[in-house]
Structure 1
Amino acid sequence: MQIVHSNRRGSRNIEHIGSAHTEAELAALREVAAKRLAAGQTELDLGLAAASGPLPIQSSRMQVLWDTLAAVYVDLGFESAAKRDSVFRDLVLARIIEPTSKLDSLRVLEEVGVDTMSYRSLTRRLPQYATVEFRRGLAAACAARAGLGPASLILYDVTTLYFETDKADGFREPGFSKERRLEPQITVGLLTDATGFPLMIEAFEGNRAETATMLPTLRAFMAAHHVSDITVVADAGMISDANKKAIEAAGLSFILGERIPTIPYLIAQWHTNNPDSTPPDGLVLTQPFPAGSKNKRRDHVVYYKYSADRARRSVRGVNEQVAKAENAVAGKAPVKRNRFVTLKGADKSVNRELETKARTLAGWKAYATNIDSPTPEFVIGSYHQLWRIEKSFRMSKSDLAARPIFHHTRDSIEAHLTIVFAALAITRVIEERSGWSIKKFVTTTRRYRTVQIKAGAHTITAADPLPDDLQKLITAIRGAH
């Protein structure tokens, strides 16, 4: 048995310990050699038991995922808006990680590795989240992040959320369903900025018409943020004549899709001047409607834009309906609901006048506005941002499971929507900053855990190392945090 000492210059010293002829002698020499090597040194006592075995894990946490979500929560101003309510924060972040019931959210939080509240504490807090004041605080934080100012574009749309019950209660009521459901439902109105970032959410009775939801939401938004002039962008289904007048009376601007009930003069004139011709794809006709001296409104402009793709789809639908109408009139098929069939007593006929109108209007869409100095490019381009709010609704229904299937009272439903609203805002920010879907972000980052290991009297922290590209993405999401 020898101990060899060497240094960087290559010189070596050999210290002879002895020779062994049995395993016992070899073990004794090793012990002597070990003591000589450790001479003059103290040993670090970790307090470990002599027996070997795995060290116990004291805690395990999805540190990367949780800290990133929490950083965006703070960045949006929700921490102060919610008055540092940790229960609300935990419910919002848990919904992003795994949408489930409020009771099961406690299981999600436990798997994440954060301290959980009791279910009783959770249910005690829910009524607070249903209040107008609480939700407006969150909406104010979202508006500050969006940087709203004069002429900011505000998108509006509605959706319906149904309940698996047969009993209506004045709030959950049967009505026109986006999903063609017969069960009681509620109607939800959502305001977003031009990027689809949520600004306000409001819930209404399930049998309230879509056109009757816009003004209450806009008024609540204006009262909360003291805005003087914004530009509301909405689809034709949201608008009635009364709505349009009320929007202007409130001093707001609008860009709206409009129905075309009759053939407008400009379109009829174009076909007269271009007989047997198809409008070129992208053709825009401009119809100004100046305000008269007695009108208490601004100047209006309506743009009519022709799309060849839209025309092909519309003509195909007209052809199918007219063919069915002709079969019904000829007695070859039963008379079903068909707008091209005219019934006068026992007589049936195909409404050729309506067919001509439908073919003439195929491919045309109308856009109305009252903004100053409009251009067709800006107005039509702004209107087509509505897909962003539709995406927000899809995200809230799929990624965040917005349908409140576990809630029955109005307070608990409203509280649930408040949580979904905050989760949607965080989700949109993460997707915008990372370029990833929220599903991909959660699935990827939840694998990286930080653990605390008990080693005798000491606690050791260990973590899965992050790949460089993921570290850069996390930094981009968290910004200054």
Structure 2
Amino acid sequence: MQIVYSSRGGSLELEHIGSAHDDAALEALRAVARQRLARGQGELDLGLDDTAPPAGGPLPITSTRSAALWDALSRAYDVLGFDQAAEGDEVFRQLVLARIIEPTSKQDSLRVLQETGIEPASYATVKRRLPVYGTDAWRRSLSRRLAAHAALGPASLVLYDVSTLYFETDEGDGFREPGYSKERRLEPQITIGLLTDASGFPLMVDAFEGNKAETHTMLPVIRAFMAAHRLPDVTVVADAGMISEANRKAIEAEGLSFILGMKIPEVPYVVAAWRRDHPDDEIPDGHVFTQPWPAGATDQRRDQVIYYQYKADRARRTLSGIDEQVAKAEKAVAGKIPVKRNRFVALTGADKSVNRPLEAKARALAGLKGYITNLPNPTPEFVLDSYHRLYNIEKSFRMSKSDLAARPIYHHKRASIEAHLTIVFAALAVSRHVEQATGWSIRRFVRTARRYRTIQIQAGEHTLTAADPLPDDLRHALDKIHQPPGRPH
């Protein structure tokens, strides 16, 4: 069904209304077309009863909704157990799914719901419910459902990372505080700790003061998670930036297993020994050195193993950076450029020199990356593969910031900030579930499914339903989302 508009100049413009597969759907599309044609035309009000449309006139549209999109997201929400965790709270469902469809303010999300064809809760109701969503109890309830969905067991791999969310304000308040920011922003911020399973599926989120060191955030999140789910052990995977020596000892004291990236302050003896034995050879690309570190009689820890992997491409990039820094250091020492932050410039009183021993050590370490674990009888392949899964949690952070627009945050009260994080966290879980089920990005899924609407039209005593036919790829994606839990996709 199409509407053809013509102009005096003879040009044509087509408006596609939809396709019908039976007489009822065809009549519904005709009614929609008549409604479109009548739109904007003046009506003469004679004070007569106009409850029934004139014969042959447009039929009233009783509802129009993005049924394919909403029903699929609702299905994912229910599969994750959020309906039970929220005890049937439809306001929470609306806020979570609206953020996936079009991330915007809480007030404007009511407009998103209306456009989707959902009757939204009032803004007064939303404001009244928000503090509840920010409580630890509410978030722990969601986390329990996610852990059950991820089928976590003892020694399951969990990934941990942190990021920051900034605020459109200039004043800190003890929670929102300026701190280290990878984007070098100066606004007050909070630090977010995210715990996921090995695939990057979110399990728990927590918020900390914006000036709190990253290394002090991990243990509280993991302790709370393990206590909530009665897990005797998990294997924590985290980047070297998360781990100080004290933090690693604290993890060990908690009895946790770990696979951690580690900084390499000196050339490891296993690497130095290999170079002594192979003075004329380059380290093979991808070669892994194994260095056992057994626990002593007085050490309060398990036996550990350190792996050092050499990558030629990593060495090339590192050496290029060293060359650039050393060149600048030489110019600074010669007085050709000002002395700025440069680790290869040695200052002794007023004297400047290039720190050649440091340069030599940096070149000797180029291409090496360290990994440490206390797992019993680990293999290098398992340890390195587990560590490289950290890109999954990085993807979750990118999704929360871009697709779900988690930042900047415009809330001021901590309860509202915590509620905002809970909604984003739940939306992230639903989004990751949709992506894992369909193989589509959440952005592509929403953009595609949002185009197709279901329209209901009242024709006398009959309600007619019409909908555009779905393309095969979208229909297959929807089928995967609506599959019973546990069935392979």
TM-score > 0.5 by shorter chain: yes
One-letter amino acid of the counterpart of residue 154, structure 1 = V
Matches within 5 A, 1:25-424: 51-424=55-428
Q: Secondary structure at the match of 2:200?
A: coil
Q: Aligned-residue CA RMSD in angstroms?
A: 1.3
- Aligned partner of 2:39 in structure 1 is none
One-letter amino acid of the counterpart of residue 461, structure 1 = T
One-letter amino acid of the counterpart of residue 190, structure 2 = I
One-letter amino acid of the counterpart of residue 358, structure 2 = L
Structure 1 residue 445: Cα displacement:
0.7
**What's the CA shift string for 1:207-263, capped at 9, x where partnerless?**
000000001111111111110011000000100122111212212100000001112
**What's the CA shift string for 1:297-324, capped at 9, x where partnerless?**
1100000000000000000000000001
Q: Secondary structure at the match of 2:203?
A: strand
Q: Which runs of 5+ in 1 are unaligned?
A: 1-46
Percent identical pairs in the alignment equals: 68
Q: Alpha carbons of 1:49 and 1:367: their partners in 2 closer, same or farther (altered >3 Å)?
A: closer
User: Aligned pair 1:425/2:407, yes or no?
Assistant: no
Q: Secondary structure at the match of 1:101?
A: coil
User: 2-side partners of 1:230 and 1:274: how far apart?
Assistant: 40
One-letter amino acid of the counterpart of residue 191, structure 1 = L
Q: Secondary structure at the match of 2:352?
A: strand
Q: Secondary structure at the match of 1:286?
A: strand
Q: Secondary structure at the match of 1:243?
A: helix
Structure 1 residue 274: Cα displacement:
2.2
User: 2-side partners of 1:251 and 1:304: how far apart?
Assistant: 24
Q: Secondary structure at the match of 1:102?
A: coil
Q: Secondary structure at the match of 1:365?
A: strand
- Aligned partner of 1:43 in structure 2 is none
One-letter amino acid of the counterpart of residue 448, structure 2 = T
One-letter amino acid of the counterpart of residue 405, structure 2 = A
Structure 1 residue 278: Cα displacement:
2.1
1:168–1:174 contact (8 Å) kept in structure 2: yes
User: Aligned pair 1:441/2:482, yes or no?
Assistant: no
Q: Secondary structure at the match of 1:164?
A: coil
One-letter amino acid of the counterpart of residue 400, structure 1 = L
Question: How many residue pairs align between the two structures?
Answer: 435
Structure 1 residue 460: Cα displacement:
1.7
- Aligned partner of 1:474 in structure 2 is 478
Query: Which moved further from structure 2: 276-285 or 457-466?
Result: 457-466
TM-score by length of 1: 0.89
Structure 1 residue 136: Cα displacement:
0.3
Query: Which moved further from structure 2: 402-411 or 199-208?
Result: 402-411
Q: Alpha carbons of 1:450 and 1:414: their partners in 2 closer, same or farther (altered >3 Å)?
A: same
One-letter amino acid of the counterpart of residue 409, structure 1 = K
User: 2-side partners of 1:282 and 1:314: how far apart?
Assistant: 16
Q: Alpha carbons of 1:50 and 1:79: their partners in 2 closer, same or farther (altered >3 Å)?
A: closer
TM-score by length of 2: 0.87
- Aligned partner of 1:13 in structure 2 is none
One-letter amino acid of the counterpart of residue 198, structure 1 = P
**What's the CA shift string for 1:173-200, capped at 9, x where partnerless?**
0000021101100000000000000000
The structure having more radius of gyration, on CA atoms, is 1
One-letter amino acid of the counterpart of residue 429, structure 2 = A
Q: Secondary structure at the match of 2:372?
A: strand
Q: Which runs of 5+ in 2 are unaligned?
A: 1-50
Structure 1 residue 283: Cα displacement:
1.0
1:173–1:206 contact (8 Å) kept in structure 2: yes
1:109–1:115 contact (8 Å) kept in structure 2: yes
Structure 1 residue 450: Cα displacement:
1.1
One-letter amino acid of the counterpart of residue 446, structure 1 = R
Q: Alpha carbons of 1:118 and 1:48: their partners in 2 closer, same or farther (altered >3 Å)?
A: closer
Structure 1 residue 48: Cα displacement:
6.9
Structure 1 residue 404: Cα displacement:
4.7
1:203–1:414 contact (8 Å) kept in structure 2: yes
Query: Which moved further from structure 2: 469-478 or 444-453?
Result: 469-478
Give structure 1 regions of 4+ aligned residues with deviation exceeding 6 angstroms: none
**What's the CA shift string for 1:129-182, capped at 9, x where partnerless?**
010000000000000011111221000000011112110000000000021101
User: 2-side partners of 1:270 and 1:331: how far apart?
Assistant: 40
One-letter amino acid of the counterpart of residue 221, structure 1 = F
One-letter amino acid of the counterpart of residue 284, structure 1 = V
Structure 1 residue 470: Cα displacement:
2.2
Q: Alpha carbons of 1:50 and 1:258: their partners in 2 closer, same or farther (altered >3 Å)?
A: closer
Q: Secondary structure at the match of 1:416?
A: helix
Q: Secondary structure at the match of 1:233?
A: strand
Structure 1 residue 350: Cα displacement:
0.5
Q: Secondary structure at the match of 1:201?
A: strand
**What's the CA shift string for 1:78-105, capped at 9, x where partnerless?**
0000111000000000000000000000
Structure 1 residue 276: Cα displacement:
4.5
2:315–2:366 contact (8 Å) kept in structure 1: yes
One-letter amino acid of the counterpart of residue 135, structure 2 = T
- Aligned partner of 1:450 in structure 2 is 454
Structure 1 residue 50: Cα displacement:
5.1
User: 2-side partners of 1:311 and 1:400: how far apart?
Assistant: 36
Structure 1 residue 468: Cα displacement:
3.3
User: 2-side partners of 1:386 and 1:372: how far apart?
Assistant: 21
User: 1-side partners of 2:188 and 2:198: how far apart?
Assistant: 32
User: 2-side partners of 1:71 and 1:402: how far apart?
Assistant: 23
User: 1-side partners of 2:473 and 2:218: how far apart?
Assistant: 43
Query: Which moved further from structure 2: 466-475 or 427-436?
Result: 466-475
**What's the CA shift string for 1:33-75, capped at 9, x where partnerless?**
xxxxxxxxxxxxxx97553222221110111100110011011
1:232–1:253 contact (8 Å) kept in structure 2: yes
